[in-house]
C-alpha cells in the first residue's frame, strides 16, 4: 500500500463502502506516530472508474486539526458531521497525506485474524503491507463487500487468508449488474452512503478510554526482554502492535456482551454497545367509524381536522363501510377542504378528463396500432397481466369477467395519462384492490393516479427508486437490528433484494385483499414519519430474525423464507410493532442524521449546530426526536397537544379532538 500525495486524491472519488472505527495497526513505510490512529476503512471508486481500498484517519474526516495528540482528537468523532466540505487547512493537507490507499487491481492477498477483528492487506505474497484493527469487531461485513468487488480464493494453507484471483467473465457480468442496479456502487452520491455510519455514533469515548489506558501500560513482552511501550514512543515493530491487538481483542470480545466491564490485572475496559431502548407495545385502535367520520365533517362537508383524521386512521384504519369515501381523500383525489358542492363539480371535471383520455386509445385503429410499437408493447403487457391479477378472488374470477375489462381500461387510460411511465409489471396489483373497493371506473382511476403519484419511482426505468429504498431499508435494519444486518451482509443479502416484492407493490402480495386495504390506508396517512413502509419491512424482518440467524439461512433460504411469509403476516401486529420500532429508533441516544433523514426528521448536523438553540420542533406531524420530546411535553403551551405514554415512551397526539375521540 502506498502513501499517496495530496494531488493523487481527488474528491471525485466515491465511497462505495465505509467502515468506521478502524485502527491503523501497521503499515510499511509509515512513521510510528501514525500507527494506532483511528479512522475509516473504505472501498472507493475513483474518478477513472478503478477502485481502491482507502483508510482515512479520523481527523481528516472530521477536519479536525489536531494531529499530535492522537487520543485527544478521538473525542471529536461521532459528534461532528463528517464531511469533506470543511476548510482545507494546512493541517488538513498534512492529514490527507496520511491517507493510505491500495488500488484493488493491485491487491493480491488479504487475511483476517483475531476473531475477525483484524485485517491485513498486501500486493505481494510474503509480506503484509498494512494491518487494521476493527474496533466494532465486524470485519466480516467489510470482507463481504470487498468480496463483491474482487474474486477471491481461500488459501489452501490458511483458512483466514484470501488470494485475489483474476476476475472471470461471470464476476464481471455480475459486477456490471451490480453497477446497474446495485446500491453498493456509483450514483449514490446524493446519499454519501456509509453503511456503518448508523453505528458511527457509538461511544468511542468509552472505547478510547481503553486505548488510552493501554497506551500507558508497559507490556512485558515475553520473547524479548525489553519493556516496550504502546503509544507515540512505541517501537515500530509490528509484532508489538499485534500483541496489543490481542489484548484489545480480548477486551472487545468481552465488550460484545452489550454493556460490560472487563477487568484484568493490567487494564480495565468499560464498553457500551449502543442498544435501542425497549420496544413499547402500542395497541391498535378501532377503525374510524362512519359516525366519527361524519362528525369530523362540517355542515358543508368539509373535513376540517385533516390531521386528526389521519391520526385516527393511523391508529386504527378505516371502517369498511366508509373506505370508499375516505380513500378518495387519502389518495389526494378529493381535497380535504372542499364542500360537497365543490366535490361534485370536481368529480364531473375528472370524469370528463378520464373519458377524454380513454377515447384517445379507444379510437386508435388497427392500422395506427400496427405502426405504433411503443403503444403496442404497453398494451400487450397490460393484457398479459390483467389476465392473471387476483383471479382467485371472486371479484376477478371466471372467464369474461367484466371487471377484468375495467382493469384493462383503467390501465390503458393510465398509459395515456402517463405514457412515459407506461405500464410496468406490478401496477395491476396496485390497481386491483382499488377497483375492488371503489367499483366505479372513474373514481378508481383517479385514486390509482394518487397512489401512483406516491410510488411512481418504484417503476423507474433504471430502478433508481427501488435502489434508493432498498438502501434506506438496509440502513434502517443496520440501525434497528444490527445482528440481522450483519447476518444478511454475510449471506450476500445485504442489498435487501429479497424485499423487492414487498416494496415494489407495497406488500400487496403478502396480505389478503382485505388486509392490504388496512395496511395501505394506514401507510397513506404519512404517519408517524416518512417512509413508515420501510419500518413495516423492518418489523416483519425483526420478527423473523431468530429464524434467519439461528437457522443460518443463506442467500436462497432467505429469499425463500421471505417469499413464503406471504399470507402469514398479521397486519395489526406488524403495524403495532413497526410503530414500536419507530419509537425505539427516535428515542435511541445514538440516533444518526442518516436515519433522521430517512424518517423525515430534521437532521441535527445540517441545522444550526448549537444544541441549546430552539429544539428542532416537529413540523406538521407529530414526529420529533428524543431531545425535543421532553421540552414539548413539559412546555404545555400547546393546548392541542396530548401526550400518551406507553412503557415510558411518550407518543404525542396532535389535537384535542383526536384525544377525545381516542378516549
Partner 1 sequence: MATNRSGAAQRPNGAPQTKVCQFKLVLLGESAVGKSSLVLRFVKGQFHEYQESTIGAAFLTQTVCLDDITVKFEIWDTAGQERYHSLAPMYYRGAQAAIVVYDITNQDTFGRAKNWVKELQRQASPSIVIALAGNKSDLAAKRMVEFEEAQAYADENGLLFMETSAKTAMNVNDIFLAIANKLPKSESGGGGGGGGAGAGARRLNDGDAPRASSCCK
Ligand X SMILES: Nc1nc2c(ncn2[C@@H]2O[C@H](COP(=O)(O)OP(=O)(O)OP(=O)(O)O)[C@@H](O)[C@H]2O)c(=O)[nH]1
Contacts of range 487-490, beta carbons closer than 8 Å, 24 or more positions apart: 487/548, 487/549, 488/548, 488/558, 489/140, 489/141, 489/144, 489/145, 490/140, 490/141, 490/144
- Residue whose cell numbers read 381500461: 409
Nearest CB to ligand X, comparing residues 381 and 571: 381
Q: Which of 385, 409, 441, 625 binds partner 1 (CB under 8 A)?
A: 385
Nearer to partner 1 (CB atom), residue 236 or residue 387: 387
Nearest to partner 1 of 256, 462 (CB atom): 462
Return the C-alpha cell found at 50: 478503478
Q: Which 509-568 positions form the footprint of partner 1 (CB under 8 A)?
A: 509, 556, 559-560, 563
- Out of 6, 173, 300, 356, name the contact with partner 1 by CB under 8 A: 173
Q: Which of 181, 513, 549, 615 binds partner 1 (CB under 8 A)?
A: 181
Q: Which stretch binds partner 1 (CB under 8 A): 164-172, 185-193, 259-267, 600-608?
A: 164-172
Query: 346 Cβ partners below 8 Å, 6+ apart?
Result: 334, 335, 338
Q: If binding is defined by CB under 6 A, does position 399 make contact with ligand X?
A: no
- Burial group, residue 254, by CB count within 10 angstroms (0-12, 13-18, 19+): middle
Minimum gap (Å) between residue 180 Cβ and partner 1: 4
Stretch that binds partner 1, among 22-30, 175-183, 224-232, 358-366 (CB under 8 A): 175-183
CA 411, CA 107: separation in Å to the nearest integer? 52
388 belongs to the binding site for ligand X (CB under 6 A): yes
**Residue 261 CB: number of other CB atoms within 10 A?**
11
Of 386 and 574, the one with the shorter C-beta distance to ligand X is 386
Separation CA 85–CA 224 (nearest Å): 47
CB of residue 383 vs ligand X: minimum separation in angstroms? 11
Question: If contact means CB under 5 to 8 A according to the sort of partner, which of partner 1, ligand X, none does residue 560 touch?
Answer: partner 1
381 binds, among partner 1, ligand X, none (CB under 5 to 8 A by kind): partner 1
The residue from 42, 255, 411, 505 that contacts partner 1 (CB under 8 A) is: 505
> What does each C-alpha distance from 506 to 252, 427, 524, 558 come to in angstroms?
41, 11, 11, 19
Smallest separation (angstroms) from ligand X to the CB of 313: 34
Report d(CA 530, CA 603) in Å as an integer: 13
CA angle, 234 then 236 then 242, to 5°: 85
Give the Cα separation of 408 and 396 in Å (integer).
12
Q: How far is the CB of 505 from partner 1 (least distance, A)?
A: 6
**Alpha helix segments (H runs only) across 481-589:** 482-490, 500-504, 513-524, 532-550, 555-564, 571-586
- 501 makes contact with partner 1 (CB under 8 A): yes
**Residue 418: how many CB atoms within 10 A of its CB?**
14
Given the rule CB under 8 A, which of 251-259, 422-430, 517-525, 571-579 is the region that contacts partner 1? 422-430
Verify binding: residue 170, partner 1, rule CB under 8 A. yes
Mask of contacts with partner 1, 444-473, x by CB under 8 A? ---------------x-x-x----------
Residues making contact with ligand X (CB under 6 A) = 387-388
Amino acid at each position: 500500500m502506498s502513501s499517496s500525495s495530496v494531488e493523487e486524491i481527488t474528491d471525485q472519488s466515491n465511497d462505495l463502502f465505509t467502515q468506521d472505527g478502524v485502527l491503523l495497526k501497521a503499515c510499511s513505510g509509515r512513521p510510528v506516530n501514525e500507527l494506532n490512529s483511528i479512522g475509516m476503512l473504505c472501498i472507493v471508486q475513483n474518478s477513472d472508474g478503478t477502485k481502491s481500498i482507502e483508510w482515512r484517519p479520523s481527523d481528516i474526516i472530521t477536519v479536525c486539526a489536531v494531529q499530535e495528540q492522537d487520543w485527544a482528537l478521538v473525542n471529536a468523532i461521532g459528534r461532528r458531521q463528517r464531511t469533506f466540505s470543511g476548510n482545507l487547512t494546512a493541517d488538513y493537507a498534512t492529514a490527507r497525506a496520511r491517507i493510505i490507499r491500495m488500488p484493488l487491481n493491485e491487491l493480491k492477498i488479504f487475511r483476517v485474524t483475531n476473531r475477525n477483528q483484524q485485517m491485513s492487506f498486501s500486493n505481494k505474497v510474503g509480506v503484509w503491507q498494512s494491518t487494521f484493527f476493527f474496533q466494532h469487531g465486524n470485519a466480516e461485513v467489510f470482507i463481504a463487500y470487498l468480496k463483491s468487488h474482487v474474486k477471491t480464493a481461500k488459501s489452501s494453507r490458511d483458512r483466514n487468508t484470501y488470494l485475489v484471483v483474476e476476475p472471470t467473465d461471470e464476476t464481471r457480468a455480475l459486477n456490471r449488474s451490480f453497477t446497474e442496479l446495485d446500491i453498493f456502487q456509483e450514483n449514490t452520491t446524493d446519499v454519501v452512503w456509509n453503511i456503518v455510519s448508523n453505528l458511527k455514533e457509538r461511544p468511542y469515548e468509552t472505547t478510547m478510554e481503553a486505548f488510552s489506558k493501554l497506551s500507558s501500560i508497559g507490556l512485558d513482552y515475553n520473547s524479548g526482554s525489553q519493556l516496550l511501550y504502546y503509544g507515540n514512543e512505541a517501537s515500530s515493530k509490528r509484532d508489538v502492535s499485534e500483541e496489543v491487538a490481542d489484548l484489545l481483542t480480548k477486551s472487545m470480545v468481552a465488550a460484545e456482551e452489550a454493556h460490560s466491564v472487563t477487568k484484568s490485572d493490567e487494564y480495565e475496559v468499560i464498553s457500551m454497545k449502543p442498544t435501542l431502548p425497549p420496544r413499547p407495545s402500542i395497541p391498535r385502535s378501532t377503525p374510524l367509524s362512519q359516525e366519527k367520520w361524519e362528525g369530523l365533517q362540517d355542515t358543508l362537508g368539509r373535513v376540517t381536522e385533516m390531521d386528526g383524521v389521519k391520526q385516527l386512521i393511523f391508529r386504527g384504519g378505516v371502517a369498511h363501510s366508509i373506505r370508499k369515501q375516505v380513500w378518495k381523500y387519502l389518495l389526494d383525489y378529493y381535497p380535504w377542504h372542499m364542500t360537497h358542492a365543490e366535490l361534485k363539480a370536481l368529480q364531473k371535471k375528472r370524469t370528463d378528463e378520464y373519458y377524454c383520455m380513454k377515447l384517445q386509445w379507444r379510437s386508435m385503429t388497427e392500422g395506427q396500432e400496427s405502426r405504433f410499437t411503443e403503444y403496442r408493447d404497453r398494451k400487450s403487457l397490460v393484457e398479459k397481466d390483467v389476465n392473471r391479477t387476483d383471479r382467485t378472488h371472486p371479484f376477478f374470477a371466471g372467464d369474461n369477467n367484466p371487471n377484468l375489462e375495467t382493469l384493462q381500461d383503467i390501465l390503458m387510460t393510465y398509459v395515456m395519462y402517463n405514457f412515459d411511465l407506461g405500464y410496468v409489471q406490478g401496477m395491476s396489483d396496485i390497481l386491483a384492490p382499488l377497483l375492488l373497493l371503489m367499483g366505479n371506473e372513474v373514481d378508481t382511476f383517479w385514486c390509482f393516479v394518487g397512489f401512483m403519484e406516491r410510488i411512481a419511482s418504484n417503476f423507474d426505468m433504471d430502478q433508481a427508486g427501488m435502489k434508493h429504498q432498498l438502501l434506506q431499508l438496509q440502513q434502517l435494519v443496520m440501525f434497528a437490528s444490527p445482528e440481522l444486518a450483519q447476518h444478511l451482509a454475510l449471506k450476500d443479502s445485504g442489498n435487501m433484494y429479497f424485499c423487492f416484492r414487498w416494496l415494489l407493490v407495497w406488500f400487496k402480495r403478502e396480505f389478503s385483499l382485505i388486509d392490504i386495504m388496512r395496511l395501505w390506508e394506514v401507510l397513506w396517512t404519512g404517519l408517524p414519519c416518512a417512509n413508515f413502509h420501510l419500518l413495516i419491512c423492518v418489523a416483519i424482518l425483526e420478527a423473523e430474525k431468530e429464524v434467519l440467524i439461528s437457522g443460518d439461512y443463506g442467500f436462497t433460504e432467505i429469499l425463500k423464507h421471505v417469499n413464503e411469509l406471504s399470507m402469514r403476516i398479521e397486519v395489526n401486529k406488524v403495524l403495532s410493532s413497526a410503530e414500536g420500532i419507530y419509537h425505539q429508533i427516535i428515542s435511541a441516544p445514538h440516533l444518526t442524521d442518516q436515519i433522521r433523514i430517512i424518517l423525515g426528521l430534521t437532521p441535527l448536523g445540517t441545522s444550526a449546530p448549537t444544541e441549546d438553540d430552539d429544539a428542532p420542533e416537529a413540523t406538521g406531524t407529530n414526529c420529533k426526536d428524543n431531545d425535543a420530546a421532553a421540552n414539548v411535553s413539559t412546555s404545555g403551551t400547546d393546548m392541542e397537544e396530548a401526550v400518551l405514554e406507553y412503557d415510558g415512551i411518550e407518543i404525542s397526539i396532535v389535537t384535542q379532538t383526536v384525544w377525545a375521540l381516542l378516549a
